[in-house]
Amino acid sequence: MPVERSRRLESYNLADYDRLPQCTNRRRLAAGIATIGPAIAEPIGRRANDRLPFPPSTPVGNIVLKLHQESSGALNTITSYGDGYVAINLERHEGSIIVMPEGAVIEWPVSSFEALAPEHFEALVAAAPEVVIFGSGSRLRFPHPRLTAQLAKHRIGVETMDFGAACRTYNILMSEGRRVAAALLIEA
């Protein structure tokens, strides 16, 4: 049986890319990236691919260049948001909601930031997410720690953001396979 090796994933600042010893084919990649720009300006097809320094999907060192769109399948994805609404999988919601990657979208009975009570956050404990992203409305406002005390007691993290940042962060964490819940406050 083949033995699987675990890879250590590291992230690097792209500004330091040229100085990293781990990037072995950086000159070849840099030359390829410089010539991709004009190729993209033309219609995609055989002529555009002929300009690339290497064919599409060809390994360059230990990197494979292949672009594709990732589909989230049946997961609850925030597809749009704006003043007074959020759309989950293209379904528009105009009241405060709790959304998790799987399961139904739950109406959250909160109409304003001032109306928040500990019971509103305690409803999230049963779902047992790793982290709760709290979208505090159009501007960033932090809830009092007593409101989120039950979440802290169960070792569930709470991150507070404005509404737009909460929607974007939820989608990123959801696409990474994290157990995340978004409590999105939509004020009337």
Predicted local distance difference test score (pLDDT) of residue 4: 53
State if pTM tops 0.85: no
| 61-95 tens-digit pLDDT | 544 444 334 555 679 999 999 989 999 999 999 99
CA 132/CA 116 separation, integer angstroms: 15
Binned at pLDDT 50, 70 and 90, residue 183 comes out as very high
Tokens representing residue 104 in the block: 């139904």
Q: CA torsion, points 106, 111, 116, 120, in degrees to nearest 10?
A: -20
Determine how many CB atoms are found less than 10 A away from the CB of residue 106. 16
The domain covering 78-184 belongs, at the CATH homologous superfamily level, to: MTH938-like (3.40.1230.10)
DSSP element (H, E) containing 89: none
Predicted local distance difference test score (pLDDT) of residue 2: 54
Predicted local distance difference test score (pLDDT) of residue 74: 79
- For 19, counting Cβ atoms within 10 Å of its Cβ (0-12 exposed, 13-18 middle, 19+ buried), the class is exposed
CA 167/CA 180 separation, integer angstroms: 12
Predicted local distance difference test score (pLDDT) of residue 60: 46
Our measurement of the distance from residue 119's CA atom to the centroid of its chain's CA atoms, rounded to an integer in Å, reads 27
What are the domain boundaries of the chain? 14-64, 78-184
| 86-126 tens-digit pLDDT | 999 999 999 999 999 998 999 999 999 999 999 999 989 99
